[in-house]
Amino acid sequence: MESYQLENIKVIPEKCGFQEFSKMSCPVRYGRFSEIQTPEYTFQFNLNGEIKYIQGRGPHWPHPGEWLKRTVGNDWLYYSAGSYNKIVDLIGEYYYPCLPYPSNSLFSSYAIDPHTQKEALDAWTRLQSRLRRLYPAGRVNHLNDCLVRIARYDPPALQRRSNEYSGLINARITVLPPDCRHVDYETIPVIVADGCLYHCGFCRVQSRGGFRPRSRHDILGQLRQLKKYYGRDIYNYNSVLLGLHDALMVETALIEFAALKAHQMFEFERSNLRDPCLFMFGSVDSLMASAESKLEAFNRLPFKTYINLGLESVDSQTLAVLEKPISSKKVKAAFARLIEINKKYEHVEISANFVLGEDLPGGHLPTLVDLVRNSLERFYSKGTVYLSPLMGSTARGELLRQFYSVKTMSRLPVYMYLIQRL
C-alpha cells in the first residue's frame, strides 16, 4: 500500500478494505478505494475518483466512529452510532443511516448538524482545489492518475452523473428492499418489469401503470450502460437488484437471464467482494404463483437471493383502510409459504413487511403478534419481519411501543424498515 505526503495531506492511491460485508461495531470499508487524510478529515473515494465517505478527525466532529456517505443518487447519509444496543435492536446494524428525506423522519434525532455537514463538504471542495494546484494535469504516474480523477468529480460533475442514472434503466429507484442492508445498500439495479399488481392506496412509492415485464433486449441494454457508467468501480460491487416492485412475478427464464447476464457482464467472479447477493420485491400473488421449479432455479443461481414481500397486515379491516386489494386469508397463506420456503432452500430467503401507525384499526397489532408468534413452533433466524411506519405517522413514542410489542413476542427477527432510495 503506497502512500505519499503532499504538504500536510497524506494520499493513499489504492487501499484494500474488507472483502465481505460484516456486522461490525466499528467503522469498516469494503473493496478497494483511494484515501486522503488531512488534519481535520479522512476522505475516501471510489475507483473512479468520486467522493464516497467523509469522516471527521478533529474535536468538532460529533463522534470519531461516525461518517458521511454519498450514494449513487447523490444523497449524503450520516451514519450515526447512537446507542449501539438500541440501533441494533431497531435495524439489525450497528450504525443508523440518517436519510435526508422524510420517509424515515421518525429517527431524525440521530442526524448530523447541518452546519457540521456543510463544513465537511466545503472541506472536500477545498481539497479538490488544492489537488489541482499540487498535481496539475499532464504528469503521468500512479499518484497523479488518482488525483486527477478525484479533482475531476466536483459537486456539479457528481450531480450531472446522478442525473444520468435513471436514464440508464429508464426508471427511478424510489425504494430499495430492506434486505439490502446486508450489503449496505450497495447494489446495482436492473429493471426486469415495470408497474405493480396492486397500486395500494397507502403506498407512496408505487409506479404508474400495470405490471409489464421488460424484454431481454432491454435488459441487455441496461447491463451494457450500467457497466460503462460504473467504470473502474464495478469491481466494488457484488449485488444486483431486480426491479421494480414485483420482479418475482416475472417468468423464471427472464429472471435467470437477467441474473446470470448481470453476474457475467459485471464480472462478479473478479469482484473485490465475495458472496454475491440478488435482491427483489415480491407480492402475495406472485409468491403463491411461484412453482417449486422457480424457487429451485433461484437456489441454483450464483447468488444468495433475498425476496421481500409487502404483506402489510393480517387484519381484514386494516387491509381495507390501507386499500390493499388482498384478503387476510391470502396474507396468512403467503406467510406460511414464506416459512416453508425459508426452511427448504439454502440460498433463498424471503422477508415480509408489515406497517405501523398510530391510527390503524385495533385488530392490526394483535393479529400481527398472533401470526409471528403463535403460528410458529419455535424461533427461526431466517426470514426477517420488517415494520414500516406509515408516512405521516408522528407519534414516535407510540410507534416505538408498537415496534417493541411485536419484536419481543416474535419468533422471527424483527427490525424497522428503512425506506432508502438509490
Q: What is the mean pLDDT of residues 331-360?
A: 96
Q: What is the mean pLDDT of residues 210-222?
A: 95
Greatest mean pLDDT among 164-173, 208-217, 325-334: 325-334
pLDDT at site 52: 98
In angstroms, rounded to a whole number, what is the distance separating the alpha carbons of residues 258 and 293?
Answer: 17
Residue 203 has pLDDT above 70, yes or no: no
In angstroms, rounded to a whole number, what is the distance separating the alpha carbons of residues 35 and 127?
Answer: 12
pLDDT at site 39: 94
Domain that holds residue 18: 4-158
In angstroms, rounded to a whole number, what is the distance separating the alpha carbons of residues 11 and 2?
Answer: 9
CA angle 9, 10, 13 (to 5 degrees): 130
3-state helix, strand, coil in the chain (%, to 5): 40, 20, 40
Helices of type H across 28-154: 84-91, 114-134, 142-152
CA angle 254, 332, 208 (to 5 degrees): 45
Q: Single out the residue of 261, 259, 248 nearest to residue 291, CA to CA.
A: 248
pLDDT at site 232: 96
Residue 422 in domain: no
In angstroms, rounded to a whole number, what is the distance separating the alpha carbons of residues 87 and 258?
Answer: 35
How many domains in the chain? 2
Residue 198 in domain: yes
Q: Give the pLDDT band (50/70/90) at residue 140.
A: low
Q: Give the pLDDT band (50/70/90) at residue 202.
A: low
Q: Give the pLDDT band (50/70/90) at residue 233.
A: very high
Residue 417 has pLDDT above 60, yes or no: yes
Residue 175 has pLDDT above 60, yes or no: yes
Domain boundary among 132, 158, 184: 158
The set of cell numbers assigned to 262 is 448481470
Q: What is the mean pLDDT of residues 341-354?
A: 98
In angstroms, rounded to a whole number, what is the distance separating the alpha carbons of residues 312 and 352?
Answer: 8
Digit-coded pLDDT (tens) for 251-292: 999 999 999 999 999 999 999 999 999 999 999 999 999 999
pLDDT at site 108: 66
49 SS3 class: coil
The set of cell numbers assigned to 242 is 431486480
Note whether 195 and 130 are same-domain residues.
no
Note whether 75 and 140 are same-domain residues.
yes
Residue 163 in domain: no
CA angle 373, 182, 258 (to 5 degrees): 105
pLDDT at site 396: 79
Note whether 143 and 78 are same-domain residues.
yes
pLDDT at site 392: 64
Domain boundary among 111, 128, 158: 158
pLDDT at site 43: 98
Residue 250 in domain: yes
Note whether 82 and 28 are same-domain residues.
yes
Residue 207 has pLDDT above 70, yes or no: no
pLDDT at site 229: 97
CATH number (domain holding residue 406): 3.20.20.70
Poorest-pLDDT segment among 40-54, 170-184, 248-262, 383-397: 383-397
How many angstroms separate the Cα of 239 from the Cα of each of 143, 186, 310? 30, 7, 21
**298: CB partners within 8 A, 6+ apart:** 255, 278, 305, 345, 347, 348
Residue 421 in domain: no
**Average pLDDT across the chain, whole number:** 92
Note whether 121 and 269 are same-domain residues.
no
In angstroms, rounded to a whole number, what is the distance separating the alpha carbons of residues 164 and 162?
Answer: 5
Residue 37 in domain: yes
Note whether 347 and 249 are same-domain residues.
yes
Digit-coded pLDDT (tens) for 73-115: 999 999 998 776 688 999 999 999 998 877 666 666 678 999 9
In angstroms, rounded to a whole number, what is the distance separating the alpha carbons of residues 255 and 221?
Answer: 15
Note whether 116 and 248 are same-domain residues.
no
Note whether 97 and 231 are same-domain residues.
no
In angstroms, rounded to a whole number, what is the distance separating the alpha carbons of residues 412 and 416?
Answer: 13
pTM value is 0.94
Q: Give the pLDDT band (50/70/90) at residue 393.
A: low
Amino acid at 389: P
Domain boundary among 158, 186, 218: 158
Note whether 184 and 117 are same-domain residues.
no
Note whether 120 and 196 are same-domain residues.
no
In angstroms, rounded to a whole number, what is the distance separating the alpha carbons of residues 175 and 193?
Answer: 15
In angstroms, rounded to a whole number, what is the distance separating the alpha carbons of residues 126 and 169?
Answer: 34
Share of the chain above pLDDT 70, in %: 93
Q: What is the mean pLDDT of residues 405-413?
A: 97
Note whether 123 and 186 are same-domain residues.
no
Residue 198 has pLDDT above 80, yes or no: no
Residue 393 in domain: yes
pLDDT at site 142: 81
Note whether 195 and 138 are same-domain residues.
no
pLDDT at site 376: 93
Long-range contacts formed by 341-345: CB under 8 A, 24+ apart: 341/295, 342/380, 342/382, 342/383, 343/380, 343/382, 344/295, 345/295, 345/296, 345/298, 345/299
In angstroms, rounded to a whole number, what is the distance separating the alpha carbons of residues 242 and 187?
Answer: 10
In angstroms, rounded to a whole number, what is the distance separating the alpha carbons of residues 71 and 36?
Answer: 19
Residue 138 has pLDDT above 60, yes or no: no
pLDDT at site 401: 92
In angstroms, rounded to a whole number, what is the distance separating the alpha carbons of residues 40 and 120?
Answer: 9
Q: Which residue has the cell 455537514?
A: 117
Higher pLDDT, 47 or 102: 47
Q: Give the pLDDT band (50/70/90) at residue 386.
A: very high
Share of the chain above pLDDT 90, in %: 75
Residue 164 in domain: no
pLDDT at site 103: 65
pLDDT at site 384: 97
CB-count burial class (<10 Å; 0-12, 13-18, 19+) for 4: middle
Q: What is the mean pLDDT of residues 343-364?
A: 95
